[in-house]
Amino acid sequence: MFYEAVFQPSKRKNYNAEAKKLAGKKIAVQDGWMIEDGPLKGQNCFYIPNSTVGWIPMDDLIDLKPISFTKWKEIYKNLDLGNLS
């Protein structure tokens, strides 16, 4: 499924520079998998395709809601993952 949410990184996961630039922004994510180990074990995670952000635990996403693929594509395109400033 396709979702939108505001990315609010916590200190529970060490994010890279690309992810930190997305903090506080609305992002387009896809449903991932259940985290199998570590302190976030059992939590569902999400991801941004074709990025180096990696997996994002559900707790780091505010106002997570399912959206249409068309709306998801628009948000994803506006992320401009190659030129985050």
The residues spanned by each domain of the chain are 2-61
- Calculate mean pLDDT across residues 58-80: 94
Res. 84: pLDDT tops 70: no
Q: What is the pLDDT of residues 33-62, one digit of tens each?
A: 999 998 889 999 999 999 999 999 999 999
Three-state secondary structure call for residue 47: strand
What spatial distance separates the first Cα and last Cα of the chain, rounded to whole Å?
Answer: 28
- Listed residue (73, 13, 6, 63) closest to 38, CA to CA: 13
pLDDT of 39: 87
**How many other C-beta atoms can be found within 10 angstroms of the C-beta atom of residue 16?**
11
Average pLDDT in the chain: 91
Residue whose entry in the numeric block shows the structure tokens 């992810």:
19
State the residue for tokens 């559900």.
Answer: 58
- And the tokens for 65? 């809601």
